[in-house]
């Protein structure tokens, strides 16, 4: 059926209703320029339009994403979604994968439609599949489902297996499966005699569901024993299988990797005499970046430096369309657990041919950057080279050497290599400080394991100048890559980070007002505005609270084929170039540079289109979020496993999340997240105050607010689910006008909170733990 033509818009300044309708009809892909063109606006009308949009934003009616206007909670025109069920008519229903439930509520349900005229290649989608949908609002929809979604591509088929813990029936053969997915907690499966597959009690297994029964438990058959939960190694296996992270390479990919021959000097510049240096964590196995710096001898750049960043030339081994390339795209990135790494590429590539090991010839893409005395990059050039790393150092080793405590390996490098590197970093730091990127103080914790694979302790690694040096040089190289590709008009995938939405900025201002902190109301938001607020609360009891709330106001960084800048780094253009061993986005950028600069025939294929790159960007963004969730859940399970024997112990922590259901608490010593149900807070009725990020007792005025220090007792640990439940021991603060505290211990007497106490923490995700650049 032919789509009717769009109605002609009335020319001239639109009414509020017409403007809202126009923004809504474009699915979040419209800016001021498109509005002006559609309504024929110019001159004074455009000024009036700007004022109208500002008023709509202040009222929370209109928001921005990727610097485009949309209605808050509206679906974008193209969305990655998961098929979740069939409706009563047998139609497939999907929900968007990337949806902020805290801000917009439950995700919208989308009616899935197949591509027109059967143009969808491959199998049709089914429940559990991930699909790329082009969405449109259903005219005059009056039900729960308000959107159609036409399938552009089937991204990932659902997994047919279920993961869980096998429990043997003490009365005989067979047993039952306890699923590890929090969404399936309490939905056990029966394993009949003969279907155990050799599983022992307590084993982590994958099962195939055989049949569902009208009464009783569904039955299943064990397909694979994955290990025992007596070791932490099996704990990371839970996340690998639960999130469908590919952990075994296909035979074709392994065969290609093993057959790969070392690259030769042919077609490359010989830079093997340049003393490039790798600086990495002490346990790193793949070294994909090396650095060098020297004073610039050009009199016109007195006090400046020549900084070189060399990156492993992965594109020389992983060619477009090969089995290795397909495997890398499916994985999207390497995934890092405390006990293992699930690499994007086989070890023959990542730990051997592409690892910049000392005193071995390795192919690389290098960028030579001329840095002025003010730290700003003046010019740069890219080169395809053969290099030979002079040495590899750990961060702490390099830092000790520059501070006069060099060991034998670093002593000879101090004057010729390390000191110029640190001098160049001091210059670059000036430009960074002037740029003023977002400066959140959110320390990352690291789990250290014993030789037996059990949790030893949790530490906060010291943030050294050596870390910052490498980070700033990598940022410079990433910017140079984006600038070169834009100049050559070569398609690429950007690393982008949108500015906070108007809705979140409004919520942040309201929250800061409760702390008597004013935030200027400006049309353009800059990271420096947040930094000024963070500086005001530094070293005060409000610092953890303000850092958390500002973090929650930020968008999530992602990959896109369209550039809208990187807000957190305060950069106009940015692309990931420096880690092609572990990120597919970087491999795309390498290929783009090879094509743009005519470095060889292994660059980006000629048929690469913006639409194809948009699809790739959506896939690898989803893979990154998958990896982050798996890493976070594994840490939760490890900590819960470690603390299972400490029931009854007391701890100090801070409130890291507040919901209507209760409080999330992060412990000071381990960073472990646990939950306190609202029903256990006391005899009062606790109301959720969204502006204050707090639960407040209606009778007493007792307030438990995000960031508040608390004392808690551990009352339950569920290692399989990675969940902890606490009891609150300390009292909250009291808001003005509150009455005297009610007598009696917490938990005594009738419960008046919103929800009944649960035996385990709710299966919702805890507070955010930081956002990647």
Asked whether residue 457 carries a pLDDT value surpassing 70, the answer given is yes
DSSP 425-478: HHHHHHHHHHH-------PPPEEEE-TTSSEEEEE-----HHHHHHHHHHHHHH
> DSSP alpha helices (H): ranges in 515-609?
527-537, 543-553, 584-596
For position 189, what pLDDT does the model report? 87
CA-based nearest residue to 84, from 112, 106, 105: 112
Min mean pLDDT across 100-104, 190-194, 302-306, 583-587 is at: 100-104
Asked whether residue 761 carries a pLDDT value surpassing 60, the answer given is no
Report which of residues 310 and 755 the model is more confident about. 310
Looking at residue 166, the DSSP 8-state letter turns out to be: E
DSSP 58-124: HTTS-EEETTEEE-TTPPPSEEEEEEEEE-TTS-EEEEESS--HHHH-SPPPEEEEPPGGG---SSP
Averaged pLDDT for residues 11-32? 70
Report which of residues 522 and 468 the model is more confident about. 468
Q: How far is CA 39 from CA 22, 26, 55, 518, 730, in A?
A: 10, 14, 19, 37, 60
In a 10 Å sphere around its CB, with 0-12 CB exposed, 13-18 middle and 19+ buried, how is residue 359 labelled? Answer: exposed
Averaged pLDDT for residues 108-125? 68
Residue written as tokens 């047993």?
A: 175
- 744: helix, strand or coil: coil
Token pair belonging to 436? 């003023």
- Give the separation between CA 33 and CA 66, rounded to whole angstroms: 14
- Reported as a single tens digit per residue, the pLDDT across 588-646 is 999 999 999 999 999 999 889 998 999 899 999 989 999 999 998 888 888 888 888 89
**Strands across the sheet containing 686-689:** 686-689, 694-697, 702-705, 733-734
Q: What is the mean pLDDT of the chain?
A: 84
Instruction: Provide the angle, in degrees to the nearest 10, between the axes of the packed helices 16-25 and 44-58.
Output: 80
For position 388, what pLDDT does the model report? 97
Averaged pLDDT for residues 577-584? 97
For position 540, what pLDDT does the model report? 87
- Reported as a single tens digit per residue, the pLDDT across 286-298 is 899 999 999 999 9
Averaged pLDDT for residues 264-269? 96
- Confidence grade of residue 765 (pLDDT, cut at 50, 70, 90): very low
For position 233, what pLDDT does the model report? 62
Asked whether residue 152 carries a pLDDT value surpassing 80, the answer given is yes
Q: How far is CA 57 from CA 51, 73, 440, 603, 655, in A?
A: 10, 14, 26, 44, 31
- Reported as a single tens digit per residue, the pLDDT across 62-110 is 666 555 555 555 677 788 888 887 777 768 889 888 776 666 667 888 9
CA-based nearest residue to 746, from 759, 728, 734: 728
Averaged pLDDT for residues 675-687? 89
Indicate the pairing of strand 391-394 with strand 662-667.
Answer: unpaired
- Confidence grade of residue 744 (pLDDT, cut at 50, 70, 90): very low
In a 10 Å sphere around its CB, with 0-12 CB exposed, 13-18 middle and 19+ buried, how is residue 121 labelled? Answer: exposed
The H helix count followed by the E strand count for the chain is 17, 34
Token pair belonging to 124? 């049709």
Min mean pLDDT across 255-269, 407-421, 683-697 is at: 683-697
Asked whether residue 299 carries a pLDDT value surpassing 90, the answer given is yes
For position 7, what pLDDT does the model report? 47
Instruction: Provide the angle, in degrees to the nearest 10, between the axes of the packed helices 584-596 and 465-487.
Output: 50
Min mean pLDDT across 292-296, 301-305, 520-524 is at: 520-524
For position 118, what pLDDT does the model report? 44
- Confidence grade of residue 437 (pLDDT, cut at 50, 70, 90): very high
Question: Do the Cβ atoms of 241 and 163 come closer than 8 Å?
Answer: yes
For position 129, what pLDDT does the model report? 81
Report which of residues 120 and 416 the model is more confident about. 416
Averaged pLDDT for residues 41-69? 68
- Give the separation between CA 423 and CA 291, rounded to whole angstroms: 13
Asked whether residue 373 carries a pLDDT value surpassing 80, the answer given is yes
SS3 letters for 279-312?
A: EECCCCCCCCEEEEEEECCCHHHCCCEEEEEEEE
Averaged pLDDT for residues 181-207? 80
- Confidence grade of residue 141 (pLDDT, cut at 50, 70, 90): low
For position 770, what pLDDT does the model report? 47
Q: How far is CA 468 from CA 257, 371, 570, in A?
A: 34, 17, 17
Asked whether residue 767 carries a pLDDT value surpassing 90, the answer given is no
- Give the separation between CA 49 and CA 31, rounded to whole angstroms: 11
Taking the complete model, does pTM exceed 0.85, yes or no?
no
Report which of residues 139 and 83 the model is more confident about. 83
For position 22, what pLDDT does the model report? 73
């Amino acid at each position: 059926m032919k789509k009717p033509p769009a109605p002609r818009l009335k020319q001239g300044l639109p009414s509020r209703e017409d403007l809202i309708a126009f923004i809504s009809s474009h699915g979040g892909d419209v800016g001021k320029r498109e509005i002006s063109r559609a309504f024929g606006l110019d001159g004074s009308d455009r000024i009036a339009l700007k004022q109208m949009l500002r008023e709509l934003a202040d009222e929370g009616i209109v928001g921005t994403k990727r610097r485009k206007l949309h209605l808050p909670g509206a679906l974008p025109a193209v969305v990655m979604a998961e098929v979740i069920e069939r409706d009563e008519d047998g139609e497939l229903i999907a929900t968007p994968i990337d949806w902020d439930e805290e801000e917009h509520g439950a995700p919208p349900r989308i009616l899935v439609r197949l591509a027109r005229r059967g143009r969808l290649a491959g199998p049709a989608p089914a429940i559990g599949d991930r699909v790329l949908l082009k969405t449109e609002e259903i005219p005059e929809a009056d039900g729960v489902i308000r959107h159609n979604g036409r399938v552009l591509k089937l991204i990932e088929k659902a997994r047919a297996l279920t993961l869980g813990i096998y429990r043997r029936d003490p009365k005989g053969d067979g047993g039952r499966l306890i699923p590890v997915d929090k969404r399936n907690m309490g939905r056990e499966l029966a394993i009949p005699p003969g279907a155990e597959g050799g599983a022992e009690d307590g084993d982590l297994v994958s099962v195939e569901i055989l049949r569902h029964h009208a009464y009783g438990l569904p039955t299943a058959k064990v397909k694979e024993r994955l290990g025992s939960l007596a070791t932490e190694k099996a704990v990371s296996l839970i996340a690998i299988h639960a999130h469908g992270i590919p952990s075994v390479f296909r035979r074709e990919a392994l065969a290609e990797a093993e057959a790969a021959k070392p690259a030769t000097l042919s077609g490359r510049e010989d830079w093997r005499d340049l003393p490039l240096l790798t600086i990495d964590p002490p346990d790193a196995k793949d070294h994909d970046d090396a650095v060098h710096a020297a004073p610039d001898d050009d009199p016109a750049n007195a006090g400046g430096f020549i900084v070189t960043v060399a990156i492993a030339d992965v594109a020389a081994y992983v060619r477009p369309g090969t089995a290795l390339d397909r495997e890398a795209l499916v994985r999207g990135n390497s995934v890092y657990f405390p006990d293992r790494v699930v690499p994007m590429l086989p070890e023959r590539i990542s730990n051997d041919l592409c690892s910049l090991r000392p005193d071995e010839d390795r192919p690389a893409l290098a960028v030579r950057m001329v840095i002025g005395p003010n730290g700003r990059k003046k010019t740069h050039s890219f080169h395809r080279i053969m290099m030979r790393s002079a040495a590899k150092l750990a961060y702490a080793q390099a830092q000790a050497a520059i501070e006069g405590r060099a060991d034998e390996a670093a002593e000879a490098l101090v004057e010729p290599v390390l000191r110029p590197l640190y001098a160049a970093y001091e210059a670059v730091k000036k430009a960074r400080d002037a740029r003023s990127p977002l400066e959140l103080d959110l320390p990352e914790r690291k789990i250290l394991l014993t030789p037996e694979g059990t949790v030893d302790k949790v530490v906060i690694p010291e943030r050294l100048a050596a870390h910052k040096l490498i980070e700033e040089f990598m940022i410079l190289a990433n910017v140079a890559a984006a600038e070169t590709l834009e100049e050559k008009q070569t398609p690429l995938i950007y690393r982008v980070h949108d500015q906070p939405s108007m809705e979140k900025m409004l919520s942040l201002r309201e929250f800061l007002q409760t702390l008597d902190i004013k935030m200027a109301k400006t049309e353009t938001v800059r990271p420096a505005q947040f930094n000024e607020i963070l500086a005001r609360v530094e070293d005060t009891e409000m610092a953890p609270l303000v850092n958390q709330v500002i973090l929650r106001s930020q968008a999530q960084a992602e990959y896109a084929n369209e550039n809208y800048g990187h807000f957190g780094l305060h950069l106009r253009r940015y692309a990931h170039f420096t880690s092609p061993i572990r990120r597919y986005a970087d491999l795309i950028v390498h290929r783009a540079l090879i094509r743009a600069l005519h470095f060889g025939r292994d660059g980006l294929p000629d048929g690469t289109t913006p639409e194809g790159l948009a699809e790739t960007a959506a896939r690898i963004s989803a893979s990154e979020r998958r990896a982050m969730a798996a890493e976070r859940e594994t840490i939760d399970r490890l900590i819960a496993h470690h603390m299972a024997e400490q029931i009854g112990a007391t701890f100090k922590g801070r409130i890291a999340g507040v919901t209507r259901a209760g409080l999330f608490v992060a412990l000071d010593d381990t960073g472990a997240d646990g939950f306190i149900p609202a029903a256990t807070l006391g005899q009062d009725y606790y109301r959720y105050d969204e502006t204050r990020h707090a639960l407040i007792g209606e009778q007493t005025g007792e307030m438990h607010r995000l960031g508040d220090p608390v004392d808690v007792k551990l009352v339950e640990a569920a290692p399989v689910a990675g969940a902890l439940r606490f009891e609150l021991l300390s009292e909250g603060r009291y808001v003005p006008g509150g009455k005297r505290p009610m007598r009696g211990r917490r938990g005594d007497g009738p419960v008046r909170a919103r929800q009944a106490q649960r035996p385990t923490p709710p299966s919702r995700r805890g507070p955010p733990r930081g956002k990647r650049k």
